[in-house]
Amino acid sequence: MIQQLKMSLAMKNEWIKEGDGFIIVYSITSEDSFQQVSKFRDLVVKIKDKTRIPIYINLYMYARVLTGSKCDLTEARQVSIERGSELAKEWDCAFYESSAKEKINVEIIFQECIREIRRICKNEIEKSQKIETICCNIL
Protein backbone atom coordinates (compact mmCIF):
# COMPACT_ATOMS: atom_id res chain seq x y z
CA MET A 1 0.00 0.00 0.00
CA ILE A 2 2.78 2.47 0.92
CA GLN A 3 4.60 1.62 -2.32
CA GLN A 4 1.41 2.38 -4.30
CA LEU A 5 1.01 5.70 -2.50
CA LYS A 6 4.62 6.71 -3.26
CA MET A 7 4.12 5.72 -6.89
CA SER A 8 0.88 7.70 -7.05
CA LEU A 9 2.54 10.83 -5.63
CA ALA A 10 5.47 10.49 -8.02
CA MET A 11 3.09 10.12 -10.96
CA LYS A 12 1.07 13.18 -9.88
CA ASN A 13 4.25 15.25 -9.64
CA GLU A 14 5.33 14.06 -13.09
CA TRP A 15 1.93 14.93 -14.58
CA ILE A 16 2.15 18.40 -13.08
CA LYS A 17 5.72 18.81 -14.31
CA GLU A 18 4.73 17.89 -17.87
CA GLY A 19 1.38 19.71 -17.90
CA ASP A 20 0.77 22.91 -19.82
CA GLY A 21 -2.67 23.62 -18.41
CA PHE A 22 -4.57 22.93 -15.21
CA ILE A 23 -8.28 22.99 -14.53
CA ILE A 24 -8.46 23.24 -10.75
CA VAL A 25 -11.87 22.11 -9.52
CA TYR A 26 -13.72 22.39 -6.23
CA SER A 27 -17.33 21.57 -5.36
CA ILE A 28 -19.55 24.52 -4.51
CA THR A 29 -21.24 22.16 -2.03
CA SER A 30 -18.03 21.59 -0.04
CA GLU A 31 -16.11 24.24 1.89
CA ASP A 32 -13.36 21.67 2.44
CA SER A 33 -12.84 21.15 -1.30
CA PHE A 34 -12.58 24.93 -1.74
CA GLN A 35 -9.84 25.01 0.90
CA GLN A 36 -8.02 22.11 -0.80
CA VAL A 37 -7.69 23.88 -4.17
CA SER A 38 -5.16 26.30 -2.70
CA LYS A 39 -2.99 23.38 -1.59
CA PHE A 40 -3.15 21.85 -5.05
CA ARG A 41 -2.40 25.19 -6.72
CA ASP A 42 0.59 25.68 -4.39
CA LEU A 43 1.88 22.24 -5.41
CA VAL A 44 1.51 23.15 -9.10
CA VAL A 45 3.36 26.44 -8.58
CA LYS A 46 6.11 24.70 -6.60
CA ILE A 47 6.67 22.03 -9.25
CA LYS A 48 6.29 24.34 -12.27
CA ASP A 49 8.59 27.01 -10.82
CA LYS A 50 11.34 24.38 -10.68
CA THR A 51 10.80 23.16 -14.23
CA ARG A 52 10.04 26.31 -16.22
CA ILE A 53 12.78 28.92 -16.35
CA PRO A 54 12.37 31.85 -16.37
CA ILE A 55 9.31 32.34 -14.21
CA TYR A 56 7.93 35.85 -14.36
CA ILE A 57 6.07 37.48 -11.49
CA ASN A 58 2.33 37.38 -12.29
CA LEU A 59 3.06 35.91 -15.73
CA TYR A 60 2.65 32.17 -15.50
CA MET A 61 4.01 29.94 -18.22
CA TYR A 62 1.16 27.46 -17.83
CA ALA A 63 -2.60 27.87 -18.08
CA ARG A 64 -4.93 27.76 -15.09
CA VAL A 65 -8.71 27.69 -14.86
CA LEU A 66 -10.51 27.64 -11.50
CA THR A 67 -13.85 25.84 -11.60
CA GLY A 68 -16.63 25.52 -9.05
CA SER A 69 -18.45 22.31 -9.90
CA LYS A 70 -22.01 21.19 -9.13
CA CYS A 71 -23.50 24.64 -9.74
CA ASP A 72 -26.87 22.94 -10.29
CA LEU A 73 -27.00 22.15 -6.54
CA THR A 74 -27.72 25.71 -5.44
CA GLU A 75 -29.66 24.64 -2.33
CA ALA A 76 -26.55 22.84 -1.01
CA ARG A 77 -24.12 25.68 -1.83
CA GLN A 78 -21.39 26.29 0.74
CA VAL A 79 -19.03 28.38 -1.43
CA SER A 80 -20.35 31.60 -2.97
CA ILE A 81 -19.69 32.65 -6.55
CA GLU A 82 -17.97 35.76 -5.17
CA ARG A 83 -15.43 33.71 -3.21
CA GLY A 84 -14.54 31.64 -6.26
CA SER A 85 -14.28 34.74 -8.42
CA GLU A 86 -12.10 36.53 -5.84
CA LEU A 87 -9.74 33.57 -5.62
CA ALA A 88 -9.46 33.43 -9.41
CA LYS A 89 -8.60 37.14 -9.49
CA GLU A 90 -5.97 36.58 -6.81
CA TRP A 91 -4.49 33.74 -8.88
CA ASP A 92 -4.85 35.73 -12.13
CA CYS A 93 -6.79 32.96 -13.86
CA ALA A 94 -10.15 32.31 -15.50
CA PHE A 95 -13.12 31.30 -13.33
CA TYR A 96 -16.26 29.35 -14.16
CA GLU A 97 -18.94 27.48 -12.31
CA SER A 98 -20.03 24.27 -13.95
CA SER A 99 -22.32 21.28 -13.78
CA ALA A 100 -21.47 18.03 -15.53
CA LYS A 101 -24.98 16.76 -14.78
CA GLU A 102 -26.67 19.73 -16.46
CA LYS A 103 -23.88 20.25 -19.04
CA ILE A 104 -23.24 23.82 -17.89
CA ASN A 105 -19.89 25.39 -18.96
CA VAL A 106 -18.11 22.03 -19.28
CA GLU A 107 -16.90 22.55 -22.85
CA ILE A 108 -16.17 26.24 -22.27
CA ILE A 109 -13.80 25.42 -19.41
CA PHE A 110 -11.71 23.11 -21.58
CA GLN A 111 -11.79 25.58 -24.48
CA GLU A 112 -10.58 28.37 -22.17
CA CYS A 113 -7.71 26.24 -20.92
CA ILE A 114 -6.69 25.35 -24.48
CA ARG A 115 -6.91 29.02 -25.58
CA GLU A 116 -4.65 30.00 -22.70
CA ILE A 117 -2.14 27.24 -23.52
CA ARG A 118 -2.03 28.39 -27.16
CA ARG A 119 -1.57 32.03 -26.09
CA ILE A 120 1.32 31.10 -23.83
CA CYS A 121 2.95 28.94 -26.51
CA LYS A 122 2.63 31.75 -29.05
CA ASN A 123 4.24 34.21 -26.62
CA GLU A 124 7.09 31.78 -25.93
CA ILE A 125 7.73 31.30 -29.66
CA GLU A 126 7.74 35.07 -30.21
CA LYS A 127 10.18 35.56 -27.31
CA SER A 128 12.54 32.90 -28.63
CA GLN A 129 12.46 34.43 -32.12
CA LYS A 130 13.32 37.86 -30.69
CA ILE A 131 16.24 36.38 -28.77
CA GLU A 132 17.53 34.63 -31.88
CA THR A 133 17.41 37.85 -33.94
CA ILE A 134 19.38 39.85 -31.36
CA CYS A 135 22.92 38.96 -32.19
CA CYS A 136 26.01 40.44 -33.75
CA ASN A 137 28.34 39.02 -36.29
CA ILE A 138 32.03 39.73 -36.06
CA LEU A 139 33.88 39.43 -39.34
Task: Render pLDDT for 31-71 as a digit per residue (tens, 0 to 9).
Answer: 999 999 988 888 888 887 754 433 333 344 566 789 999 99
Interior angle at CA 13, CA 8 and CA 18, nearest 5: 125
pTM: 0.74
In one letter, which amino acid is 40? F
19: pLDDT strictly greater than 50: yes
Task: Render pLDDT for 67-91 as a digit per residue (tens, 0 to 9).
Answer: 999 999 999 999 999 999 999 998 8
138 in any annotated domain: no
51 in any annotated domain: yes
Give 20-58 as a DSSP string.
SEEEEEEETT-HHHHHHHHHHHHHHHHHHHHHSSS-BTT
139 in any annotated domain: no
> Which strand (E) or helix (H) includes residue 94?
strand 94-97
107 in any annotated domain: yes
Domain of residue 27 covers: 2-133
67 in any annotated domain: yes
What total of structural domains would you count in the chain?
1
DSSP 8-state assignment for residue 76 = G
| Calpha distance 31→29 (Å, rounded) | 7
104 in any annotated domain: yes
